[in-house]
Amino acid sequence: MAAIATGVASLELEDDEPQVAEVPSTWRSLQSLADSELQTDPVSFAEASAQTLVPQSIETQTEPLEADEGKEADLSIDGWRPDADVAEFLERVAPIMDMQLSRNAASHAFDDYDALAATEDDDPEVVHVLSTTFLQPADAVEGGEAKEGTEDVEVTLPCTGVSWSSTGSVVCASFGFQDHSGWCTHRAGVGTWNVFGKGLRAGTPDVLLDTMSCVMCVACHPERPSVVAAGTFNGEVVVWDTNEAEPLVAQSRIDDYFHREPVTRVEWLYDMFARAYMLASVSADGKVLFWTLANKLAYPVQGFRLAPGRRHRPRARRERPGASDVVGGTALAFARDGRVTNSFVVGSEGGGVFKCLIRNQAPPASAAAGLTGVAEMPWDDEAAVALLRVPQADRFEVARHTERYARKAGLRQVTMEVLYAAKPPSERIFPSPIDFAFEPHVGPVHSLDCSPYHRSLFMSTGADGRLNLYSMLSSRPLYTIEPSSSYLFAGCFSRVRPMVLAAGGTDGVVYVFDLHASLVAPAATLRDTRGGGGRAA
């Protein structure tokens, strides 16, 4: 190899042969092999043949089986079981009834049956004319016939309302004058007749419930046939039980926070929290109050003022200076006959029809917790619930006002009596429930009724002679009927046929409509052919 010159020093290289080392591979070494042999036992084989026997067949037939023979039927319902006699009767007749109902379901005998179809006598007949008289002071009325030996005058009062008992056998009617110029001093009341009982006396009620002022409306209890509620011209709400020796159960007082004007309508509704029925009343003073029999109508447990907002008032009323924001109530109705209690519809003296909502329905168990930071004194459950129903913006002021009164009176707890005695501003404890306004009537609304078959459908009648059908979802009426030129004072849906409704007017005629048959002509016209006058209630 030649030398390489670096410019500084030279490096010399020379050839060399290094020694070689060999490492043999061991991974493929030879495998060890071994041979072995085995033999199995001899396998045995065998053959055999077979032949089937001659086939045979046989038939049998069972006797009719008795259902659950020897086994007692389970007739218990929620742990309750009928008596042995009743159970034996049901076990005997139930199969027969089931068989007959199955036959009826397959039958076409009544396919063309019409309950309101014309019969041999097309005009309905008047079966009974129920009325009664009341003794009045001679200076209280003009006319009438004085009773012998007294200075009292026997007077027949107009009927102002009608209601049927829950059994459908007793009719209750309220009586009184409606054209008063001041405080009412007439003797009036409510009469009841069992129209299907023996010995019916049309001119004498079975039970006569007296009042010291004219009665404007009446409502029978939805479940207790003997319980009747009514509202008077002076503003009282009265409840009777006709099964008791002393029928008067409870009567409200006249107060600034109760009614001071005629109670135009009372309705029963179901309280989900108390699991009992309570009363709702509406008055010409613009209040809607809710009462319970648990406190004997000592005070309302809840209340509202009918004060429409600006957008719910008619245009002419919006621009009128100094106009009151409270409207007088004339009619009231709850959906599903009082079973739906979170909303209701109300009618007013000016013709307005409003949908109202009930908010803040807190049960008593949660009321105390809701007063944290608001109340400084202990409040009982009922008063706490009432305070929680006050709008949140006014709740603190109402609590302070009431507690100042309680401290001055030396009280240690706030109750409903203390709340009303403290007299907080009524517009704060009775807020406006109006949520929606419908197209109004021209004149006072005299009746409202919700359909028992559709929760959004209701009807109204008014002094303009119109019967309006509304939906809760629309401000305009779905349909309007004008059966005559007279005012309509009453109206209701049928409880047995969805498309049937009726309205009564000042001409004393009741118009019955079957909307399935005709949207214009009444299916029947109920008229007193004996010459009776007056408006239909």
DSSP 350-367: TS-EEEEE------GGGH
Mean pLDDT of 258-267: 95
Query: What one-character-per-residue DSSP string does 105-145 give?
Result: HH--TTTT--TT---SS-SPPP------EEEEETTT-SS-E
pLDDT-wise least confident of 104-108, 121-125, 467-471, 533-537 = 533-537
Burial of 54 from C-beta contacts in 10 A (0-12 / 13-18 / 19+): exposed
Q: Please measure the distance between the N-terminal and C-terminal CA atoms of the chain and give it in whole angstroms.
A: 141
Q: How much is the pLDDT for 374?
A: 83
434-448 tens-digit pLDDT? 999 999 999 999 999
CA 292 → CA 144, 162, 172, 249, distances in Å? 39, 22, 21, 12
Give the integer Cα–Cα distance in Å for 338 and 35.
103
Burial of 200 from C-beta contacts in 10 A (0-12 / 13-18 / 19+): middle
212-255 tens-digit pLDDT? 999 999 999 999 999 999 999 999 999 999 999 999 999 999 99
Give the integer Cα–Cα distance in Å for 124 and 106.
33
Give the integer Cα–Cα distance in Å for 118 and 122.
5
Give the integer Cα–Cα distance in Å for 528 and 536.
10
User: Which residues are within 8 A (CB) of 271 and not within 5 positions of it... i.e. 6 or more apart?
Assistant: 277, 278, 292, 341
Give the integer Cα–Cα distance in Å for 456 and 443.
24
Sorted by where each starts, the structural domains of the chain and their CATH numbers stand as 360-432 (1.10.8.550)
pLDDT of 142 above 70: no
Mean pLDDT of 2-25: 65
DSSP state letter for 495: S
Selected residue with higher pLDDT from 52 and 415: 415
Q: How much is the pLDDT for 1?
A: 46
Side-chain half-sphere CA neighbours of 342 within 13 A? 7
Helices 381-388, 392-408: axis angle to 10 degrees equals 140
User: Which residues are within 8 A (CB) of 404 and not within 5 positions of it... i.e. 6 or more apart?
Assistant: 422
pLDDT of 326 above 70: yes
Is 0.85 topped by the overall pTM? no
